[in-house]
Amino acid sequence: MADAGDPPSIQIEAPREWRAETIELPPGFAPDMKLKGVEEIRFAPGMLQADSDSFFSYFLVFALPEQKSLDEETLQRELLVYYRGLASAVAGGKNVEIDVDKFTLELEKVEPEDADDAPREWTGTLKWVEPFVTVKAQTLRFDIQTGTLEGGEGVYITMCASPADREADIWQELHSVRETVEFRE
């Protein structure tokens, strides 16, 4: 039996060619994050191929068992800390300087069709420098959902991310992966 505050097991069904990674939060590259828990990521096959239709496209889940609630201000602040830390760490490993203070994140609340128990939703746009492959300015788009973990202990964040236009096929794939998420004690 898990102790109170332990993150639940996260089950995600993604296509076989999607690479998986699990990270403890806060991650080593963003120690100033206040959110604590676990992150599960699924990377599209073209994640690190600049000429791919799925370049820098991925799905992630944060399970945050100690977080009682999550407002838009906290979500925005924590995601900026995460991406600024990620870019700094990757660029530093390449001896490249990126001015992460210029990164901006805009979130727009999406009103749910079913307000009863629907997750809270946002679309987001991160203007940043992609540090892994191109080290060039990129607009990374997000579809974000937040909700309460089963049992009412803690919260979760799911995020579909891609620089692709929202009409691109990758978004349907990302949303399909999101639909498979299950949390288990």
Q: What is the pLDDT along the chain (185 residues), one digit of tens a residue?
A: 345 556 678 999 999 999 999 999 999 999 999 999 999 999 999 999 999 999 999 999 999 999 999 999 999 999 999 999 999 999 999 999 999 999 999 999 998 776 666 688 999 999 999 999 999 999 999 999 999 988 778 999 999 999 999 999 999 999 999 999 998 77
The structure tokens listed for 166 are: 């929202």
Sketch the domain layout of the chain as residue ranges.
19-184
78: nearest Cα among 136, 8, 157: 157
CA 83 to CA 79: how far, in whole Å?
6
**Amino acid at the residue 4:** A
57 with 46: CB under 8 angstroms?
yes
- What's the pLDDT score for residue 5? 57
**Sole residue written with tokens 């236009």:** 165
- What's the pLDDT score for residue 176? 98
